[in-house]
Structure formats: structure tokens, C-alpha cells
Amino acid sequence: ADGCTDWSVDIKKYQVLVGEPVRIKCALFYGYIRANYSLAQSAGLSLMWYKSSGPGDFEEPIAFDGSRMSKEEDSIWFRPTLLQDSGLYACVIRT
């Protein structure tokens, strides 16, 4: 579609023990070549996170509970991780 930018896919694997905290950073904000989180926010864009249990099977946006699993700027935190947190996560910038 017009006005869409494909930032491609970055896959990073995290290996975490159940019960330990982990931070997953959105791949769109890894380096200076990519988008800047503050600029995206000031432009009225929002960062959405999705979880999938299998390749290409992304469903509804994640509803963060604010305590154990929270969205903080360009990252999601799991404090602590649980077995059901395993899976693929994707971040998307939306208007």
C-alpha cells in the first residue's frame, strides 16, 4: 500500500529461565538507521506488540497487565517469565 515501509524482519532469540526477568526490545529501534521511538511517538504513531505461537500466526495485539508483563517505551518486560510466554513476538508501528 502507498505510504507503507517494509522494515524487513529481524529475528532475535532469547533464552530465559522460567522465573527470571527479560526485556524484549522492538527491532524497529535497534540502530540509528531505523526509526526513532521518540520521533514516532511525537508523530502520533503507536507501537503495537503481537504474539504468535507459530510462524505467521499473529493474532490480536497483546493486552499488557502492567505488572508481570508491561510495555515500556520500545520494549516489553516480563517480570518474571512464565512458560506460556514462549513464542514469537512482533512489533508494529501504527497510526
pLDDT tens string 53-92 = 666 666 778 988 888 999 998 899 999 999 989 888 888 8
Confidence of residue 5 (pLDDT cuts 50, 70, 90): low
Range 41-49 average pLDDT: 86
CATH value of 29-94 in 2.70.170.10, 2.60.40.420, 2.60.40.10, 3.30.1360.10: 2.60.40.10
Q: Are 81 and 18 in contact (CB under 8 A)?
A: yes
What is the rounded (10 degree) CA torsion for 57, 58, 63, 68? 70
Residue 25 confidence (pLDDT) above 80: yes
CA neighbours closer than 13 Å in the CB half-sphere of residue 49: 20
Domain ranges within the chain, ordered by starting residue: 29-94
76-86: per-residue pLDDT in tens? 999 999 998 98
